[in-house]
Chains A and B, each alone.
Chain A
Amino acid sequence: MNKKNLRFIIALSVEAKSIIELYKLKEINLPPNIFKIYKNIDLNIWLIISGIGNVNSAAATIYLYKSSPKNKKNIWINVGMAGSKNFDVGSIFNIKKVSYKNTLKEESFYLSTLVNTKIPINEIVSVDTPEYNFKKKKSIYEMEGYGFIKTVERFCSRELIIIIKIISDNEKIPPINFIKTTKHFMKSNIKALEELINDYIKISSSIKNKRKYNINIINKKFHITYSSKVIIEDLAFKFEKIYSRKELEIILSEAKTLKDFIREVKKKINSYVLKI
């Protein structure tokens, strides 16, 4: 199994409970403690309680981004309850479009459709105040998706962003007993959520973090300026992929100057013919 690098943004503790239990997360003391943050022992799964609303979810997203380790493979997830006119309470949706409208602007955001099985896909209308009228028949109304997506898309690949909404109330069933029903619906959907996240983890595993080449052995022999460091890292990386580190060390030991070393490495790379 690939390593899970997960970042959860969740409005309320009651919505987060099942996830905290699933991934064995512990609350941490991270001054100035603006938000409640949880993490696992391996530091790869983090969860933040944002509070209700788009402003809070945006702030919590950036707060968690600053507070947790950065990795291109991090998957950012917003999970929460939502209301709708017709959908059954307890049903779960993988959100692919977020619409937001206020008196000043109208915006739409789209999530990647790469993973679209297991949990049915749908759209949300993100609002600033609770919605009770459910004007749009087929829409799901919630209060954090817009703040989350607008912030997270600035630093995360679209393919690794997830919004999951579970219907807590509809036209016929009002949101009474919210805590009890939320606990129940989160628990009953946690397996589906975990399976979906695992699909995203598979995707994230094919993302390669920026290649880093350790040029210490070269730096020990020659003084390397910052500008030549980039060139040497690139050349050494390619050389080792084509030939071997041992051969690189031989060239290094024979080179009298850095210029000689670079010239020889370049020459060898240029003499390489692609093998199929």
Chain B
Amino acid sequence: MKKVIYIEKSIKNLARVKAIIRRFRDPSIIYINRYTEVFNKKNQNFPLQKKNPAVILAKKQGNFLLKTPESYTIGRKNNYYFSYMYNCIFDCRYCFLQGLYNSSNFVIFINYEDYFNEIGLLDSSHIANDTTIFSGYDCDSLAYDSISNFSESVLKSFNKFKKIELEIRTKSTYVKPFMRKSMQNIILAFSFTPERFSSKYELGVASNKKRVKVLQNLINKGWKVGIRFDPFVIYEGWEKDYLNLFELIFSKIPTEQMHSVTYGNIRFPKNIFSKIKKYYAEEKLFFKFSKYKSNIYDEDNGELINNFCSRYLINYVDKNKIYCNIHER
């Protein structure tokens, strides 16, 4: 299938836009006024679009940095996230993006520098030493990097920032830009579920073995890494699979390079869950989901996951580096 690229007219002559276009073979280009004309329209089918998503090149007009949910942290008090891209090349059945957006087309906001300007302001503020910025909320940070070249810009900018800390979260094996001298203010965080689950529910994601190999290469370069078991999934045989996964991952990471481990259950706000349920009415993964007090849907397995992680993760990771994203029902 041919790749279709929508481009906001106002940015069509920018060098970065031209560079992105060049990475596709003979794409079809359609000019638009604003990305919302295509992306936000109702009556779009997210899973269908996943079969051949178009690319939308746009300019972000504001709200570059957003506050994370209050309790979310990997150690620091102030936490923000940003999304230079909406949507992801991977197709994870539990992904909340399919309920968040009407479209699965990839939106790339090409004004990267505007994000870094805002982060720069934060870096020179009095809270900088106690602030983490997260990338990878509305997209996988690195999965589309060979097209967007985003991480080159990140590395250039974060070289100048001294206090603020950045987490780049990914399931991708594309880490080419990081095969260089490490930076102490960047954490490369990898999300894992056991292989049996991942191969069925995380389409397009490389095997755990391959990703652990990539993790090892980064460690050899001196990068600090984070491990994310978020979501942590329960299925027949999960305990054994997770213990094997812990062994596979943690045996490769020296303590001093382990920044943090987080875990959490699959959870959705009500409106997102209703949409996902509609798309995958027959998906047993969601059959036991129910609503609890704060309008969040989950499987009521938080205690089970918490007990397991509290018991086993400490065998591999310093207790102070473990963060739980499960909320009381």
Contacts and interface: CB of A to CB of B under 8 A. Distances in A.
Interface size on B, as a range, is: 20 to 34
Interface string B282-307: 10110110000000000000000000
B282 A159 contact: no
B30 interface: yes
B234 A123 contact: no
B10 to A, nearest CB: 15
B287 A273 contact: no
B37 A272 contact: no
A112 B236 contact: no
Contacts of A158: 41, 43-45
Contacts of A110: 6, 30, 32, 37-38, 41
Interface in B211-239: 233-237
Best-surrounded residue of B28, B33, B37, B284 (most CB of chain A within 10 A): B284
Interface stretch (A18-26, A183-191, A203-211): A203-211
A242 interface: yes
Contacts of B44: 112, 157-159
A273 B235 contact: yes
A114 B236 contact: no
Contact of A276 (B37, B38, B197): B197
B200 interface: yes
Contacts of A108: 32-33, 37
Nearest to A204: B48
Given A110-B41, A113-B54, A156-B43, A274 B2 contact: no
Given A157-B48, A159-B48, A276 B196 contact: yes
B234 A274 contact: yes
A275 interface: yes
Contact of A242 (B30, B32, B234, B284): B284
Interface in A237-276: 237-238, 241-242, 269-270, 272-276
Contacts of B2: 116-117, 121
A113 B41 contact: no
B288 A269 contact: yes
B308 to A, nearest CB: 14
Interface in A53-110: 96-97, 108, 110
Contacts of A117: 1-2
A273 B236 contact: yes
A32 B133 CA distance: 64
A123 B29 CA distance: 11
A69 to B, nearest CB: 19
B314 interface: no
A248 B52 CA distance: 40
Contacts of A206: 47-48
A116 B49 CA distance: 12
A159 B49 contact: yes
Nearest to B196: A276
Best-surrounded residue of B2, B41, B235, B288 (most CB of chain A within 10 A): B288
Best-surrounded residue of A112, A153, A156 (most CB of chain B within 10 A): A112
Contacts of A112: 44, 48-49
Nearest to A238: B287
B45 A207 contact: yes
Interface in B46-61: 47-49, 51-52, 54
Contacts of B237: 276
B30 A275 contact: no
Interface in A189-225: 203, 206-208, 210-211
B4 A276 contact: no
Interface string A101-138: 00000001010111011000101000000000000000
A30 B51 CA distance: 39
A96 B30 contact: yes
Contacts of A274: 233-236, 284-285
Given A241-B282, A274-B285, A203 B48 contact: yes
Interface string B1-38: 11010100000000000000000000010101100011
A242 B197 contact: no
Contacts of A208: 281-282
Interface of A: 96-97, 108, 110, 112-114, 116-117, 121, 123, 153-159, 203, 206-208, 210-211, 237-238, 241-242, 269-270, 272-276
Given A113-B28, A241-B287, A273-B234, 9 more contacts: A110-B30, A114-B49, A114-B51, A153-B41, A153-B43, A154-B43, A156-B43, A206-B47, A241-B282
18 contacts: A108-B32, A112-B44, A113-B4, A113-B28, A114-B49, A114-B51, A156-B43, A157-B44, A158-B41, A158-B43, A159-B48, A210-B281, A238-B287, A272-B287, A273-B234, A274-B233, A274-B236, A275-B284
Nearest first, the 6 closest Cβ-Cβ pairs linking A and B are A113-B4, A274-B235, A113-B54, A159-B48, A238-B287, A116-B2
